[in-house]
Amino acid sequence: MPKIAVYPGSFDPATYGHLDIIKRSLEIFDKVIVAVIRHPHKEPLFTLQERVKMLKVATKDLKNVKVDSFEGLLVNYVKSQKTNIIIRGLRAISDFEYELQMVLMNRRLNNSIETIFLMPEEHYSYLSSSLVKEIVFSGGKASKFVPPVVEEALHRKFSVDKSGRSW
Ligand code: ADP
């Protein structure tokens, strides 16, 4: 049986930190499903289709990665993919409390699900999608933080939307 893991997230947008976690996961699992969440109550900068498409381009050279999307309960999605493993990235202590809450809640919902945490390369540990959006919105360059497809999309998005929204 191939070992499959699901790496869920908003990926709004994907950064090199996310890609670092995907590559580390591929060292452990035969297949990694990157699962973009459709949040019913959160308005992302990029549509679900845009987020999926950018991840597909960014991971096109990685074997054994599938990019998918889902809505509803993560534990149900994970089961539907015939696995019980969730991957999450852990950057700093500040991630810990939220992640612990999620693990414990998911365990309540389905006791057979396990979450594995991976830590990125040190220089990605301060990187977040929100920070990247702020940098580009404020006129900075993000090429060190995001793949070219994402950087282009950010510049396109902000050149048509300078309405001063906050994330
Ligand atoms: P979510 O809204 O689910 O937290 P994100 O796209 O922000 O979605 O993050 C998805 C996962 O990737 C989370 O586990 C998060 O901790 C992790 N992650 C985000 N940025 C980084 C990074 N720079 N390095 C490592 N992991 C990261």
> Any idea where the domains of the chain sit in the sequence?
4-125
Mean pLDDT across 86-101:
93
Q: Which of 12, 16, 18 to mutate to test the pocket of ligand 1 (most atoms within 8 A of CB)?
A: 18
pLDDT tens, residue by residue, 103-123: 999 999 999 999 999 999 999
Q: Which pLDDT band holds residue 166 (cuts at 50, 70, 90)?
A: very low
Q: Give yes or no for residue 13 CB within 6 A of ligand 1.
A: no
Q: Give yes or no for residue 106 CB within 6 A of ligand 1.
A: no
Which pLDDT score, from 0 to 100, does residue 159 have? Answer: 82
Instruction: Decide which of 3.40.50.720, 3.90.1150.10, 3.40.190.10, 3.40.50.620 is the CATH code for 4-125.
Output: 3.40.50.620
Q: Which pLDDT band holds residue 167 (cuts at 50, 70, 90)?
A: very low
For the annotated catalytic residues, the residue numbers are 18, 42, 91, 129
pLDDT tens, residue by residue, 124-143: 999 999 999 999 999 999 99
Residue 126 CB neighbours (<10 A): 12
